[in-house]
Structure 1
Amino acid sequence: MKCAPWLGGGWIVLCAGVVSAAPLTFNTALPISKDEWILREQFVFVKSTDDPSPMDRRMEVSGLMTMLGYGVTRDLAVFSVLPYADKRFAMKVGGRDVARSRAGFGDLLLLGRYTVYEDNGPGHTFRIAPFLGVETPSGSDRASDRFGRLPPALQPGSGTWDWQLGAVASFQSLDWGADAQFAWQGKGEANGFRAGAISRLDLSVQRRLWPVVLGGGVPSFLYGGLELNLVHAAKDRVSGIDDPDSGGTSLFLTPTL
């Protein structure tokens, strides 16, 4: 079983009930068998430091993603993803450190994926699957501390209904795997804040490193790969006005094992 999270403002975790490689930072089109359930727990840690400004802003997020997937039919699979995160932020104000934090369950993601094309042959498969999901405002978005209401980045939830859609194509052979995805995530508005929509293009290539030669009785496989994520975020809006310090385009190169 291989699973992959979607990074950037939300999480999509898609899994395949077969022994094969899959991307680690975005979706796969590989199938889940009919009437099969998949439960996966994933730990995530993110740290941001080296702020060049005098405020010396620092942020750490540690979280646990709980994913449950089900194969409704041979082509249709549905997923739910519930995150739990501990967010900690610190900055210098008047020469003194000010720390703020919050932990809690985030917004529940519900997603469906349907295979619209497949080409199977001896030792290989190619599939194309569009997906559609909605992130529900199940997490708290009104948390506060002794300094007042927490900023949106520290809130467990967004308070908005956010839509996600896209399509992913996957090729898998006995030795190689490749995946490509285009995805878009639209953001709703709550408490006078609307996060910028996210568009992304993802590519992944995986190669079986062990065993070099397939044989009977092999209990597991080891794959190495390289992934590329091109992510564009539109500017956030606060009270209907664009935030000039938000948005932009990022390129990530990720080696995987």
Structure 2
Amino acid sequence: MKTGQQRTWLSFVQRVLRAVFPALLLSGLTAPVLAAPITFNTALPVARGEGIFRAQFKYLTASDDGPGNRDLTVGMVPLVGVYGLTEKWALFGIFPYLDKELEVNTPSGRRTRDVSGLGDTTLLARYTVFQQDRPGQTFRIAPFVGIETPTGKDNENDSLGRLPQPLQLGSGSWDPLLGVVTTWQTLERQVDAALSYKANTEANDFEFGDVARFDLSYQHRLWPRKLGPGVPAFLYGVLESNLIWQDQNEVGGQKDSDSGGTTLYLAPGIQWVTKRTVLESAVQLPLIQDLKGNALENDFIWTLSFRLNF
């Protein structure tokens, strides 16, 4: 790992621990929780009048082989709040803290550009249109709709001038999204699938490409193999996939030839589920990256997550 990436990693982890650790101490106040996907939030189960708090730590590296020889590292802490408004309606808020660092070749040599702070907030509403419960299993279908709001700064500068728009904390635009999620759950396993589309709009003479994605998660109880009284916790193996397509960005009304494309991730993971909390982790590995021009290619995305009900 490059020295600059090491500095980013260590400083970011320190900030995460200071911000998130106090919340972990509240876990003794929570109600029972269930397994759920790690790499997407829309399938989080929540009962009427209850809430969910999820704190995630995500670490991403990406690079390209273009003349700039760019190396990008991103640390992210999405804080997710969910509330069961009724038996069918659930409300979501996703508040990301970002730390971005880009190393790039310039005429004056290798330079580092970085920024950190609050990113754009996403607000969602999910409605369960179908639910079928049988002994030991349940099946649900729930459409959702939401909007990504421009709460992150979108005009950051450094000694080289204005940061490029993809490196900014926020987009500056209001971006609607919609989708549908399904869940099938038994006593031993759970399958979640989500299909979504986000329509990005223009701001600062820049428009990110629209994003469509299909997420799939399978969770299987590894321990205990047999259920019985007094079991304090459960261990789940998790396997997820994320198929993500993004249209090309537009700068000044013109397509950016070095942006957009399709990526397929495979994400093995593990979950430790107690009566009160969930501790989980997964690594998203790109199996396919069919990208345009010299668009940045992701190396991996690591997620560490803590969840509690209240």
Specify whether residues 81 and 28 from structure 1 end up closer, same or farther in structure 2 by C-alpha distance, changes over 3 A only. Answer: closer
Offset from partner CA, 1:164-208 (integer Å, 9 cap, x none)? 100010001011111111100110100110000011112222111
Q: Equivalent pairs: percent with the same residue?
A: 46
- One-letter identity of the residue aligned with 1:128: I
Offset from partner CA, 1:149-177 (integer Å, 9 cap, x none)? 11112111110001110001000101111
Q: Which residue of 1 aligns with 2:267?
A: 254
Relative to its length, the structure with more helix (as a share) is 2
> May I ask how many residue pairs the two structures share in their alignment?
240
Contact 1:27 1:181 (8 Å CA) reproduced: no
Match of 2:256 among 243, 246, 251: 243
TM-score normalised by L of structure 1: 0.89
Q: Which residue of 1 aligns with 2:188?
A: 175
> Which moved further from structure 2: 25-34 or 185-194?
25-34
Q: Provide the rounded CA distance (Å) in 1 between the counterparts of 2:44 and 2:103.
A: 41
Q: Provide the rounded CA distance (Å) in 1 between the counterparts of 2:93 and 2:54.
A: 11
Q: Provide the rounded CA distance (Å) in 1 between the counterparts of 2:114 and 2:92.
A: 29
Offset from partner CA, 1:199-242 (integer Å, 9 cap, x none)? 11122221110111111111111111211211111111110111
Q: Pairwise mapping of residues 86-165 of structure 1 onto structure 2 (< 5 A)? A: 86-94=99-107, 96-165=109-178
Q: Which residue of 2 aligns with 1:37?
A: 51
RMSD between aligned residues: 1.5
Q: Which residue of 1 aligns with 2:245?
A: 232
Q: Which residue of 1 aligns with 2:217?
A: 204
Q: Which residue of 2 aligns with 1:71?
A: 84
- One-letter identity of the residue aligned with 2:70: R
SS of 2:233's equivalent in the other structure is coil
Contact 1:88 1:102 (8 Å CA) reproduced: yes
Offset from partner CA, 1:36-80 (integer Å, 9 cap, x none)? 12222111111124x323432111111211112111101111011
Unaligned 5+ runs, structure 1: 1-16
Q: Provide the rounded CA distance (Å) in 1 between the counterparts of 2:80 and 2:243.
A: 25
Q: Which residue of 2 aligns with 1:10?
A: none
Q: Provide the rounded CA distance (Å) in 1 between the counterparts of 2:43 and 2:67.
A: 46
Q: Provide the rounded CA distance (Å) in 2 between the counterparts of 1:29 and 1:37.
A: 14
Unaligned 5+ runs, structure 2: 1-30, 271-310
- One-letter identity of the residue aligned with 2:243: L
TM-score normalised by L of structure 2: 0.74
- One-letter identity of the residue aligned with 1:100: R
Q: Provide the rounded CA distance (Å) in 2 between the counterparts of 1:119 and 1:182.
A: 20
Q: Which residue of 2 aligns with 1:21?
A: 35
Higher relative contact order (CA 8 A, sep 6+): 2
Specify whether residues 79 and 117 from structure 1 end up closer, same or farther in structure 2 by C-alpha distance, changes over 3 A only. Answer: same
